[in-house]
A and B are shown apart, each in its own frame.
Chain A
Amino acid sequence: MSMLQKLRENRSSQGTLLALPTTFWMVALLVLPLLLTTVISFGKRSPDGEVIYTFTLNNYIRLAGFDPNCPPADGTCFNPLYLQILGRSLSLAFNTTVLVILMAYPLAYFIARSHPRKRNTYLFLVLIPLWTNFVIRVYAWMMLLRKEGVINNLLGLLAGWIGYDFKPLEMLYTQGAVLVGMVYEFLPFMILPIFTSLEKIDNSLYEAAADLGANPIRTFRRVTLPLSLPGVVAGTILVFIPVMGTFIVSDILGGRQVILVGNLIQRQFLDARDPTFGSAASLILMIMTLVVTYFYTRKFGFGEEIVAA
């Protein structure tokens, strides 16, 4: 009774109590593993694939493209393979996010402005693909893009019709294939937040803008876009971060040709059996993602400033 009463009066201990379960969860499953990963990344791999706990920067030096066994003055040991992988991951994540925004925005706008009765149907359609397993959906793209796949077969049929000599296109195992797969996988995560922020915009604001002399294009630039920006920001965070780390799409659609940092990490843990190097790559991936997200949110906010009338 008295404890309850105290709790009722003390708002900060209320907060502590409410945060307790999450805090426990985060410490057990995020903070501790992260610390472990950090420690391992400074360790050494024994010949039989065990971790030797010491302190060496060798893994990071290798990531930067240098061979720790090479004398530092000797430039011939430089190999930018891992830097290329990091760069490729970054640019692919960037391109995916931009493409997803460009495709999701018009659709979200269309859904938000449609009749309320149809709106739920449209949202339902957006969500349907998420009911199927992620991996299966990526395999479906493989069926489409393969040399003997659906797209090539159709094109061949068409070419045969007009009497054109057609050689099947090499679409699978290219960066383009990975990009297509990524855009497809992450589209719903952009559509939903943008839709939410667009839906909140009261119709009378569009009318007020028109009333004050703004044509539809200027209304969009001055009213719609700024008011929906929080949705774009939230969607960007939801898309960019997972794309940076994913390895399934590039594994299936990129094969050996398109290796991303996600694939690198996965292979270090599973194939190469070098958890120390894998841990170092994981940390670098995390830091890269954090830095990009930090600068992005510093410019645009976290998407929390959704302004409602």
Chain B
Amino acid sequence: MPAEFAVELRDVVKQFVTPEGANLAAVDHVTMQIRNGEFFSMLGSSGCGKTTSLRMIAGFEWPDEGEVIIEGKPMGHTPPYQRNVNMVFQNYALFQHMTVFENVAFGLEMQRAGRKEIITRVGRSLDMVQLKGLDRRRPRQLSGGQQQRVALARALVNLPAVLLLDEPLGALDLKLRKEMQLELKALQQQLGITFIYVTHDQEEALTMSDRIAVMSLGKVRQMGTPQEIYERPSSRFVAEFIGESNFIDGRMVQISKEAAQVHVPALNMELSATPISGDLVAGEDVIVSIRPEKVQITNSINEMPNHMEGTVEKTVYIGSDTHLIIHTGSQNLKVWEQNRVSRIDPHAFYSSGQKIQLVILPENALIMKRE
């Protein structure tokens, strides 16, 4: 019976000694469970411990505490060449003294596969990454994007249980990047291999992943599907790191399982909102997080909950959307409106000083603990 998880990190700690002599926890009590066949991303800003986590799964580093478990087996000090995982390196790490074919064949040769099998499997994986006909080139004779594909083919040809990818698209230009994102996702679904993908690009993580772990300072801040991460960020940090948000200070007035009331002095009103964490109590200082695209501009002045009036301060046309700054109460709100109708006149819809009506649905106002 296959193990439940492809990879598990259990309370893993990895410390490095900095040149100044201090101890730095690059990975700080991280627990993750990555399911079989999942596209799992680690997302976080530079230095948050993504690469270190990946290297511990690959076996290049050993945890100081905790355990890495691959396919149900605790890895301990198992060396990299005995782990059923393969890595696509950020700098590709291609063997310059070998041809493309030899690079891709390397893993199969190490498994002592037969010559015939090597030729068919290398051919197939070069096809898969669209490098047909380049098999006799040296890596130096390829473009960055092509080298990236060689690195991918070299890892995939071994059909590992888990493929580790460390910012594999980091060096490519935007257009190629987008193409490769789609291709990678398609490959992953086609092969059914578990992908663990490291990136600091939130859009990339959102579009490709089944689940995302948002990391910061060696810790996992939140783990969940792209929808969970974006729609229900568990903290101000996550809400800020992924997408944009308005943060308004308030105080809990009343809380039940589903709904809650928050007094917001800056808006001079009580907002009906959705509590994110379970342990909020009445009277507690909180913040309310509202995504800019989720603020609705209405014409009706009826008495809906969370209805307010505001003045347009500033409009920025960005093509698909118009970004507005709306002053309401003593608060400036970022509000994004889609440009559904085409108008050349810049003031066709909104202009500075204009009075408008806003509604924020309770499910779009998220109550978070103040950090």
Contact = CB atoms under 8 A, between A and B. Distances in A.
Chains A and B bind each other: yes
B95 A211 contact: no
A211 B91 contact: no
Contact of B93 (A213, A214, A226, A309): A309
Given A213-B81, A213-B158, A214-B81, A208 B93 contact: yes
Interface stretch (B63-71, B106-114, B184-192, B335-343): B106-114
A211 B96 contact: no
A223 B110 CA distance: 13
Interface in A205-229: 205, 207-215, 218, 222-223, 226-227
A212 B158 contact: yes
A218 B110 contact: yes
Contact of B86 (A211, A307, A308, A309): A211
A208 B93 CA distance: 6
A53 to B, nearest CB: 53
Given A205-B93, A211-B60, A212-B107, 9 more contacts: A207-B60, A209-B95, A209-B106, A210-B81, A211-B58, A211-B86, A212-B106, A212-B154, A213-B81
B89 A204 contact: yes
A304 interface: no
A210 B94 contact: no
Given A204-B89, A207-B80, A208-B89, A213 B97 contact: no
B97 A307 contact: yes
Contacts of B111: 213
Which bucket holds chain A's interface residue count? 20 to 34
A202 interface: yes
B81 A205 contact: no
Contact of A223 (B58, B91, B95): B95
B365 interface: no
Contacts of B86: 211-212
Interface string A222-253: 11001100000000000000000000000000
Interface string B86-126: 11010101111100000000110011000000000000000
Contact of B81 (A204, A211, A227): A211
Contact of B107 (A202, A213, A226, A309): A213
B158 A202 contact: no
A214 B95 CA distance: 13
Interface string A172-205: 0000000000000000000000000000001011
B97 A211 contact: no
Interface in A289-309: 307-309
B79 interface: yes
B93 A202 contact: yes
Contacts of A204: 89, 91, 93
Contacts of B96: 227, 307-309
Interface of A: 202, 204-205, 207-215, 218, 222-223, 226-227, 307-309
Contacts of A207: 58, 60, 80, 87, 89, 93
Which residue among B60, B80, B111 has the maximum number of chain A CB atoms within 10 Å of its CB?
A: B80
10 contacts: A204-B91, A208-B89, A209-B106, A210-B60, A211-B59, A211-B87, A212-B110, A214-B106, A226-B97, A227-B97
Contact of B91 (A202, A209, A210, A307): A202
Given A210-B80, A309-B96, A222 B91 contact: no
A209 B85 CA distance: 13
Interface in B50-86: 58-60, 79-81, 85-86
Most chain A beta-carbon contacts within 10 A, residue among B60, B85, B95, B154: B95
Contacts of B60: 207, 210-211
Nearest to B104: A212
Residue of B59, B89, B140 with most chain A CB atoms under a 10 A cut-off: B89
A233 to B, nearest CB: 14
Contacts of A210: 59-60, 79-81
Interface in B141-187: 154-155, 158
B143 to A, nearest CB: 16
A218 B94 CA distance: 16
Contacts of A209: 95, 106
Nearest to B154: A212
Contacts of B107: 212-213
Nearest to A229: B97
A69 B95 CA distance: 63
Contacts of A202: 91, 93
Contacts of A215: 79, 81
A307 B96 CA distance: 6
Residue from A213, A227, A308 having most chain B Cβ neighbours under 10 A: A213
A309 B91 contact: yes
A205 B151 CA distance: 12
Contacts of A223: 95
A205 B80 contact: no
A205 B110 CA distance: 15
A261 to B, nearest CB: 37
A306 to B, nearest CB: 10
Contact of A309 (B81, B94, B154, B155): B94
B363 to A, nearest CB: 45
A213 B89 contact: no
A102 to B, nearest CB: 22
A203 to B, nearest CB: 9
Contacts of A307: 96-97, 140
A184 to B, nearest CB: 32
A208 B81 contact: no
Contacts of B79: 210, 215
A207 B89 CA distance: 9
A6 B285 CA distance: 78
A215 to B, nearest CB: 5
Contacts of B97: 226-227, 307
Nearest to B106: A212
Contacts of A211: 58-60, 80-81, 85-87, 155
Closest 4 A/B residue pairs (Cβ): A213-B110, A212-B107, A204-B93, A208-B93
A208 to B, nearest CB: 4
A57 B86 CA distance: 69
